[in-house]
Structures are given as structure tokens and as C-alpha cells.
Amino acid sequence: MTISKKKRCCILHLQQKEMRQPEIFIVGAPRSGTTLLRNILNRHPKLAICGETQFFHHVYARRRAFGDLLNTKNRRCLVAKYLPTDRIRRLGMDSAGLSERLMSEGTSYQAFFSALLAYYAQSQGKSRFGEKTPQHAQYTEILCEWYPGAKILHMLRDPRDVVESLQRMAWASNSILTNARVWLQNNLAAVRSSSRPGYLLVRYETLVEQPERELTRICAHLGEDYSPLMLTLNEERTKFSSWSKRSRLPVTTERLGKWREELDSDSVRLIEWVLGDHMAAFGYPRTTASPSPAAIARSLGLAAWDFFQQRVSHFPAGLYRLIQPRNLTKEEFWVYRGLRNDNP
């Protein structure tokens, strides 16, 4: 009895799916070292960790607007709207080949995401894929449902260092309180998956102080051998923003505890006041007393003003998201206009 070519392909696909090792997702608060970890792991001979796709923000959150991807017309529309975004162009993949792959395999939102990451891995000559978008911390439970056994690498960094770094980013809030909340929300979201066997907490401080030892631990969790190539700098096609230049340099402890030099005492008090007992729960003890009621009132006023300014500045982007939710490039332009390719 002969087996048809189509059936042989299906059997091969099922065998490959069974043999495929768990996918890898790096999440955490922005400015926590997720890009650093991504760059390091991406140098491993077997790992292809795709840069930020913002898939859940740009695509999954608009699934009603784009519709059922079994419909070829809907799939073609999504490909046409998503691939021209800076997020995807920056990844350095061949757009024609990627488009063909997505049109062929992206028949659901999970399949679309998988095809995108698999094509990135193929372009790197590797078979095992993963992705790094810090804000996907909000969606780790969905990722674990989509990819049973997925490896969730939760990157954690001292909140005072994170806030200090965010304060210097043109795309981030100017509010100490808001940036402290960004740290808290993303880390609380990520630990919701901490009971899953694929979850691993990775501290930025440990990674930069003991890189080889920490990477050996991470590789063991991923089921891979440690490779010295991970700490060897190389050039890759991915286009990085100016904000992530430091992540392409050798691993260094230079930025550890920088908040002690860059933040004034009032700012530190505010950060520790916002985070409260959560700091100790994540392993970062408080160092100051609570801020005065006047300082709290002043910081709340500044946070409200910054929120208002951002809403006014991003109003066209919000309008596009509301009225033309599929027009991703227009929304992206109005969010990051003036920053060129320097959006996070």
C-alpha cells in the first residue's frame, strides 16, 4: 500500500512537531535587560530568539478587526498591514519570503505567530525559536496555552535601576510614579506563570555579575548545553534602536546600582512608596522612609499632567486605533513620531 505525497508531508510535519523543543519567551519590565539576554541567547548555535514583535499589541488585540485568519482575504490584509511596521522591518527578514510563509501557514493567530518566529529561525539557520517582547509578560498564560511546555524567562531588575533608565528614554513616561508602576505591572503579570515548570526567574544583577554561571543555569533550564559563543560579540542583521546599543556591548556591571548616583532621595522614596512590600517580595529591600504627603501630592500631580500630555500627543494614534484599527503603520507613526527608529 502506497502513501500519497500529501499524507507523507502530514506525517513528517507531525513528527517534526513532536520532536520540536519547547519555545522560549523572554519577558519582564522594559529596561530590565531583556534585550541583553535576547542577544546573548541568540548567539547560541541552536537558538534563534526573535527581537520585539509586539504581536499581542499589534495583532492579537485586534483580532476582531482583522477577522478569522482561515479567510485568505483577512490573512492577506494582516500580512499587508503588519509587515511594513518598524517592529517587523527591524528584524531584518526577507519580506517576500516572510509574506509567503505567513500566507501559507498563518491560518490562526497562534499559527501566524509561530510562522513568523519559525521563519526568523530559518533565516538564522536554526531550528529552535523564541521571542523577546518585554510587555508579553502580560500574556504569558496565553503563550503557555499555545505552546505547552514553553520556556518563560522572566527577566527581573532592581526597580530603582529600571525607573532610572526609563526616565532617560524619550519614549517612556516622565513620571517616577508611572515608571514604577510599569515595573510592578509587568513583573506581577510575569509571575502569574511562576507555577509552570517552564518558568525561570533571571535576575539582571546575577547575569551581569556571573554571566557564564548564570547562562549555564539558563541553558540547563532550556535543555541546551552552555556555549561560549553566547558571550562572543558578533554582527547580526537586526536593526537596533539607539536605546539598546549598550546591549550589544560586552556584558558589564557598569549599570548596576546606577540609581544611587542618578536618582535623588525624593525619587527613591517615591519608587519605594509605590512598590511597597512588592520590592521585598521580589528580593529588593527598601532603603528609605516613606515620602512626605506633600511630595506624594506633587508627584501625583506630575503623573496626571504627564498622562494628559501623552494622551494629547498620541491622540492621532488613539484615533487610528479606534477608527482604523488595522492601520498599524499610521498608529505607530503617531506614537513614535520624532523618535525615528528609536522607539523601544
Q: How many domains are there within the chain? A: 1
Q: pTM higher than 0.75 for the full model?
A: yes
Query: Is residue 62 in some structural domain?
Result: yes
Query: Is residue 295 in some structural domain?
Result: no
| CA–CA gap between residue 15 and residue 11 (Å, rounded) | 6
Query: Is residue 270 in some structural domain?
Result: no
Backbone φ, ψ for residue 21 (5° rounding) = -80, 160
Question: Pairing between strand 199-203 and 151-156?
Answer: parallel
Model pLDDT, residue 229: 95
Those residues of the chain that have pLDDT short of 50 are 1-3, 5-19, 340-341
Helix axes 159-167, 176-190, angle to 10 degrees: 130
Model pLDDT, residue 241: 54
Nearest 5°: the CA angle 174, 179, 185 is 155
Cβ contacts of residue 136 below 8 Å, gap of 6+?
Answer: 25, 27, 55, 56, 143
Query: Is residue 13 in some structural domain?
Result: no
Query: Is residue 224 in some structural domain?
Result: yes
Query: Is residue 124 in some structural domain?
Result: yes
Q: If you average pLDDT over every residue of the chain, what do you get? A: 88
Query: Is residue 235 in some structural domain?
Result: yes
Model pLDDT, residue 187: 97
Residue 75 lies in domain: 20-256
Alpha carbon 163 to chain centroid, angstroms: 17
> Could you report the per-residue pLDDT of 159-203, keeping only the tens digit for each?
999 999 999 988 888 999 999 999 999 999 999 999 999 999 999
> Could you report the per-residue pLDDT of 149-167, keeping only the tens digit for each?
999 999 999 999 999 999 9
Q: The CATH number of the domain where 25 resides is what?
A: 3.40.50.300
Query: Is residue 49 in some structural domain?
Result: yes
